[in-house]
Structure 1
Amino acid sequence: MIRSKRFKHLPIVCTCKARRGTGFAAGGVAMPGTESVLGPGFDGLEKREVQRLVLLLRPAKVIARSGEYLCILRDVASRGARLKLFHPLPRDVLMVLELGNGDRYDIEKIWERGDQAGFVFTHAAQLEHLLVERSRFRKRPVRARVDLPAQVRAGSVVLPAALCNISQQGGSIEGDLPLSVDQRVTLAVKGLPELDAKVRWRRGNRVGLVFEQTFKLDELARLLHRLQPFPPAVAEDEKDAIFRRAMEG
């Protein structure tokens, strides 16, 4: 497949309208692995309400009361999504799906089998918006919110800090840290490998780091899963899905 220069920033996806009562796309071409986003027992709902199935592999995270879990958004339809997992999910039924651009969607878990899980959106999602994944921010890897004690070594000086979030390529730490931009440091966090990094930015007591060696998505997901649970995430906006979830008690 060749992408034109005009559309090279868009993900490669495949959209299809399934024939009623079949597992084939229009034209009779089988779509391997796309038999049902919602899972067994929900075929009737899909036939009535799911208009399109969109295949895409996009890093994302699921937010539950016990923590944040990295995953891959495997495919979506107008009423649901299927995720590829790197570990079992918590028993929560109601969760939040967050994409790389920060967009969040309330989701309800319908099934989980092996390394995949099916969810329905509690509010209908616009497929076009999901596909383009517009953002006012520069595109960046999905970050998992954490709250872990850490030590930062800068030369012969060791400083206490807290790791606030982490992605495949970097993270942010907080503390009384007399560090300068571009300074090289080593970050030590129990449960994670020792990380050589460079200071990318600083704002008040927050310092952003970029790692010299990046994580694979599945590697980081499994490491963070072993370090759960974390306190529930609470947003300031009452319309925010995480805020509503936390306020439900």
Structure 2
Amino acid sequence: MQDALRQEETGLAHQGRAGDARGAQRFTLLIRAAKLITAQGEFLCVIRDASEGGMSARIFHEVPQGREMLVELQNGDRHRATVVWQAEDRAGFQFASPADVARIIQSPSDFSKRPIRLNLSAAAEVHRCEHIDDVTITNISQQGASITCNTHYAIDQQVMMRIGRMHDAQAKVRWRDGRQVGLVFENTMQFGELARIARWLQRNN
């Protein structure tokens, strides 16, 4: 399956749903990346349509139904919501209060290329030459990760981060601050792949 986030946005289809019990007009969005902040961790989704009362989204695993969570958009906007239905890789969410649909569509931000970053705490390995360092991932995105470790890495040092049996990522050290180290991946991770890795990490750590 082609990664949904690599599709080009060609416009918005505006469709009123007269039979929709929620009553509000719904705007079909071709693509809006977001994350779900739950008591179990942070997970990725893709918003497909939204109204002031709720939204539906492409999901990559089951999410807790009937429990309140936060939907965070790529620009940092947050909406408190509850899952009201799930069907295979789709789920419907009801907002706790009316949302500004125009703002969701436009997603204004000073950081237009800002990647969605998942905050978590998970064990991983960093391989450098013949050495293997045990590290803790503190956040991860499609482009890189921040880790906590006891090793002093050089800026621009080439390493390989191994995330269990899920993924090996060639990376370069971008910054360091005490025990905190920032890595940038040589190859951007696909959105769906990151979603599955995040689920695995938060279930197995």
Whether TM exceeds 0.5 here: the answer is yes
Query: Percent identity at matched positions?
Result: 38
- Cα displacement (A) at 1:151: 2.3
Tell me the amino acid that sits aligned with residue 110 of structure 1: V
Partner in structure 2 of residue 18 of structure 1: 16
User: Does structure 1 residue 222 correspond to structure 2 residue 199?
Assistant: no
User: Does structure 1 residue 44 correspond to structure 2 residue 26?
Assistant: no
Partner in structure 2 of residue 126 of structure 1: 100
Partner in structure 2 of residue 239 of structure 1: none
Tell me the amino acid that sits aligned with residue 176 of structure 2: R
Q: Give the TM-score of the pair, scaled to structure 2.
A: 0.84
CA contact (8 A) 1:191 1:227 kept: no
Aligned counterparts of 1:52 and 1:147: Cα–Cα separation in 2 = 37
- Cα displacement (A) at 1:17: 5.4
CA contact (8 A) 1:78 1:127 kept: yes
Worse overlay, 154-163 or 72-81: 154-163
Partner in structure 2 of residue 66 of structure 1: 40
1:94-133 matches, cutoff 5 A: 94-133=68-107
User: Does structure 1 residue 189 correspond to structure 2 residue 163?
Assistant: yes
Partner in structure 2 of residue 157 of structure 1: 131
CA contact (8 A) 1:164 1:174 kept: yes
Tell me, which stretches of 5 or more residues in structure 1 are unaligned?
1-10, 22-42, 232-249
* Aligned-pair Cα RMSD in Å: 2.4
CA contact (8 A) 1:15 1:52 kept: no
Counterpart of 2:98 in 1: which secondary structure? Answer: coil
Aligned counterparts of 2:57 and 2:130: Cα–Cα separation in 1 = 44
Counterpart of 1:131 in 2: which secondary structure? Answer: helix
CA contact (8 A) 2:49 2:57 kept: yes
Aligned positions, number: 198
Aligned counterparts of 2:160 and 2:186: Cα–Cα separation in 1 = 10
CA contact (8 A) 1:181 1:199 kept: yes
Residue number among 201, 206, 214 corresponding to 2:180 in the alignment: 206
Q: Give the TM-score of the pair, scaled to structure 1.
A: 0.70
- Cα displacement (A) at 1:20: 4.0
Q: CA 1:90–1:108 in structure 2 vs 1: closer, same or farther (change >3 Å)?
A: closer
Q: CA 1:123–1:204 in structure 2 vs 1: closer, same or farther (change >3 Å)?
A: farther
Q: CA 1:108–1:230 in structure 2 vs 1: closer, same or farther (change >3 Å)?
A: farther
CA contact (8 A) 1:73 1:81 kept: yes
CA contact (8 A) 1:146 1:230 kept: no
Q: CA 1:89–1:19 in structure 2 vs 1: closer, same or farther (change >3 Å)?
A: closer
CA contact (8 A) 1:54 1:77 kept: no
Tell me the amino acid that sits aligned with residue 22 of structure 2: L
Tell me the amino acid that sits aligned with residue 167 of structure 1: S
Tell me, which stretches of 5 or more residues in structure 2 are unaligned?
1-8
Counterpart of 1:130 in 2: which secondary structure? Answer: helix
CA-to-aligned-CA distance 1:173-230 (integer Å, 9 cap, x gap) = 1122311221111112324322210112223322111112332211221232233348
Aligned counterparts of 1:135 and 1:202: Cα–Cα separation in 2 = 27
CA-to-aligned-CA distance 1:3-60 (integer Å, 9 cap, x gap) = xxxxxxxx54415252745xxxxxxxxxxxxxxxxxxxxx2331xxx14424231221
Aligned counterparts of 1:128 and 1:205: Cα–Cα separation in 2 = 42
